Amino acid sequence: MSSRYPQSVSILDVGPRDGLQNEKQTVTTANKIALVEGLAAAGVRRIETGSFVSPKWVPQMADSADVFAGMQRQEGVIYSALTPNMKGLENAMAAGADEVAVFGAASESFSQKNINCSIRESLARFAPVMQAATDNGLRVRGYVSCVMGCPYEGDIAPQAVADVSQQLRDMGCYEISLGDTIGTGTAYQTNKMLEAVSRVLPLDAMAVHFHDTYGQALANLLIALEHGVPTIDAAIAGLGGCPYAKGASGNVATEDVLYMLNGLGIRTGIDMDKLLDATQAISDVLGRAPVSKAAQAMLAKR
Amino acid sequence: MSSRYPQSVSILDVGPRDGLQNEKQTVTTANKIALVEGLAAAGVRRIETGSFVSPKWVPQMADSADVFAGMQRQEGVIYSALTPNMKGLENAMAAGADEVAVFGAASESFSQKNINCSIRESLARFAPVMQAATDNGLRVRGYVSCVMGCPYEGDIAPQAVADVSQQLRDMGCYEISLGDTIGTGTAYQTNKMLEAVSRVLPLDAMAVHFHDTYGQALANLLIALEHGVPTIDAAIAGLGGCPYAKGASGNVATEDVLYMLNGLGIRTGIDMDKLLDATQAISDVLGRAPVSKAAQAMLAKR
């Protein structure tokens, strides 16, 4: 076992955005607000709260401004939003987002099929967003999708991930979140991918965003911890599914990650018991058990 | 990432026994036989086929002799059985089991509550079974339960695991399967436990048997692979539940383990596609999706 694990890890909960966006059910604004507030109450210090994108594309996020307006903010918590274009950025700033995020793919086919342009073009389109965000003192996070596999291309070369990561960093992103969008990555690939990316990014600019579609997320996160990656994206209750494998699971569950980190003695500042209160609440809203084995086992004992 | 991973790993599928024994539904003898044959057809070379125990205790395993009698055997496959006492051993030998297994707990309270005697007494009771098995040229496997946590005591000292492992080995068990019965173990504990056990057992006598109740099994298995443990117990479709946390999952799923091992380039001899045929078949029998994220994702694409 590695002795290089970080002493503390920052968990960014993407449940209210990446999670709920990929749930079939629509969740009311009030319940979204309760979710965000529940996460903050549990000690989560980074919450992906919404997305400012055309409601034609993503109807589930049409009320992001209302969520920002209605929620009680807690000091020290960063409430972030996805902003795919200038209009989105303006709306995010108006809503009071603390941080925004842009995205690029490590797979050319994914970029073409998903947003109908090349990786290079997609990054160029973000340039004015980056500029405006920076001018307004907003930090920008960059997401890279398909870092270990693509639904169209299959395996992705680690160097392709490093290249797009470096470009996002050069454009001004302070942190790059490396997304295993379809959850096909394994420990070996995780290691190779992180080796390549760590040659172009400083450690404190690296975050991992793993989906648990093939059940590999925690094993892969263990490899990321060995590399010293300080930030992990996860979704409470494992919210969100996988659009590329019907019925399969998406984001790794925050509870499972927290359980592992607690076991390793890695500090997160999150209180498991309070987190489970929020897990129970959103599970009641959705009318189903959380997609988190740790949460299921712990809630079964309540 | 460690470079000490073994080049090949032997997977022992415990689905037909540890799995089905802990399922609520009763499965017909014919369907059990189909399951065992499906596993063998996929290349699984060790199959825990049944248990010879009083049907009053474990009604789900009352037809183990019929399973042994009815199944088509494949050369090179070891069909094993759990034998808690002399009568069980005699029945297992009559049925033609290739290997038998006895068990002890690493937790004194678990032993008392589960089989109503101390660990020491429980091992003494197995002595005649061990002797008779050895006299008849049968290899005996030893299971140790509660190696990382006990439903009554909580955490278990690694040395307690090492002690009972050594005693089972001294009694003649050729292999000790280290069971995280309630699935509460984390990577840190796995490492400490394996450090302690590897001081008393040679590597080739060690097997790990992890439950995925808290979602930690694959991460913990990665630690076991770092230690070079050559044998992993798993259950197809994640069969079996956890009697200590209602609704929670039990055995780590063979498909999830195989997916990880394949990714690491570790050989098992198992064909994923044929394994998924067996997964689909037993899931149809049980009328529910497999408790394996990898299986769910791969079957969704069929």
User: Of B5, B194, B214, which to mutate for an interface test with A (greatest number of A Cβ within 10 Å)?
Assistant: B214
| Average model confidence (pLDDT) across chain B | 95
Cβ neighbours of A134 (radius 10 Å) = 14
User: Of B7, B222, B252, which to mutate for an interface test with A (greatest number of A Cβ within 10 Å)?
Assistant: B222
pLDDT of B114 > 90? The answer is no
Question: Would you state the pLDDT for residue A286?
Answer: 95
Q: Å from B261 to nearest chain A CA?
A: 9
**Mean pLDDT of all residues in B24-36:** 95
Query: In what helix (H) or strand (E) does residue B23 lie, and over which residues does it extend?
Result: none
The partner residue sitting opposite A260, judged by closest CB among B186, B213, B221, is B186
Per-residue pLDDT reduced to its tens digit, A151-167: 999 999 999 999 999 99
Tell the residue number behind the tokens 């909960």, with chain if given. Answer: A13
Question: Would you state the pLDDT for residue A172?
Answer: 95
Per-residue pLDDT reduced to its tens digit, A261-289: 999 999 999 999 999 999 999 999 999 99
Cβ-proximal residues to A167 (8 Å cutoff; 6+ apart), any chain: A104, A123
Q: Å from B64 to nearest chain A CA?
A: 31
Question: Is the Cβ pair B242, A297 closer than 8 Å?
Answer: yes
Question: Would you state the pLDDT for residue A248?
Answer: 73
Q: Å from B190 to nearest chain A CA?
A: 9
On whether any CB of chain A is under 8 Å from the CB of B260, the answer is yes
The partner residue sitting opposite A245, judged by closest CB among B248, B260, B301, is B301
Question: Would you state the pLDDT for residue A242?
Answer: 74
Question: Would you state the pLDDT for residue A246?
Answer: 72
pLDDT of B38 > 90? The answer is yes
Where does the pLDDT of residue B115 fall: very low under 50, low under 70, confident under 90, or very high at 90 and above?
Answer: confident
Three-state DSSP class for residue B176: strand
- Quote the ipTM score: 0.94
Question: Would you state the pLDDT for residue A97?
Answer: 98
Domain range list for chain B: 10-300
Paired tokens of A83: 């902003």
As a whole number of angstroms, the distance between CA B167 and CA B36 comes to 31
pLDDT of B2 > 90? The answer is no
On whether any CB of chain A is under 8 Å from the CB of B210, the answer is no
**Mean pLDDT of all residues in B31-47:** 98
pLDDT of B256 > 90? The answer is yes
CATH code of domain A10-300: 3.20.20.70
What is the set of active-site residues of B?
Answer: 242
Question: Is the Cβ pair A215, B218 closer than 8 Å?
Answer: yes
Where does the pLDDT of residue A112 fall: very low under 50, low under 70, confident under 90, or very high at 90 and above?
Answer: very high
Per-residue pLDDT reduced to its tens digit, A122-141: 999 999 999 999 999 999 99
On whether any CB of chain B is under 8 Å from the CB of A253, the answer is yes
Question: Would you state the pLDDT for residue A243?
Answer: 75
Question: Would you state the pLDDT for residue B4?
Answer: 81
**Mean pLDDT of all residues in A99-119:** 92
| Average model confidence (pLDDT) across chain A | 95
Question: Would you state the pLDDT for residue A241?
Answer: 81
Closest CA in chain A for residue B148: A263
Question: Would you state the pLDDT for residue B137?
Answer: 94
Question: Is the Cβ pair A1, B186 closer than 8 Å?
Answer: no
> Pick the residue with more confidence: A32 or B22?
A32
On whether any CB of chain A is under 8 Å from the CB of B183, the answer is yes
Question: Is the Cβ pair A219, B214 closer than 8 Å?
Answer: no
B99, β-bridge pairs: B80, B139
Question: Would you state the pLDDT for residue A154?
Answer: 93
Question: Is the Cβ pair A263, B187 closer than 8 Å?
Answer: yes
Query: Residue B158, Cα to own-chain centre: how many angstroms?
Result: 20
Contacts of B289 in chain A (CB under 8 A): 247
**Mean pLDDT of all residues in A81-94:** 96
Q: What is the percent of chain B with per-residue pLDDT over 90, rounded to a whole number? A: 90
SS3 percent helix, strand, coil of chain B, rounded to 5, is 45, 20, 35
pLDDT of A65 > 90? The answer is yes
**Mean pLDDT of all residues in B221-250:** 90
As a whole number of angstroms, the distance between CA A284 and CA A278 comes to 10
User: Of A193, A214, A258, which to mutate for an interface test with B (greatest number of B Cβ within 10 Å)?
Assistant: A214
Tell the residue number behind the tokens 């449940």, with chain if given. Answer: A15
Contacts of B300 in chain A (CB under 8 A): 245-248
Residue-level length of chain B: 302
**A32-66 as b/e, with b when 16 or more CB fall inside 10 Å?**
bbbbbbbbbbbbbbbbbbbbbbeeeebebbbbbbe
Question: Is the Cβ pair A245, B296 closer than 8 Å?
Answer: yes
Contacts of A5 in chain B (CB under 8 A): none
Q: Å from A15 to nearest chain B CA?
A: 18
Question: Is the Cβ pair B296, A249 closer than 8 Å?
Answer: yes
Per-residue pLDDT reduced to its tens digit, B141-162: 999 999 999 999 999 999 999 9
Q: Å from B55 to nearest chain A CA?
A: 29
Question: Is the Cβ pair B226, A1 closer than 8 Å?
Answer: yes
Where does the pLDDT of residue B57 fall: very low under 50, low under 70, confident under 90, or very high at 90 and above?
Answer: confident
Say if CB B196 and CB B166 are below 8 A apart: no
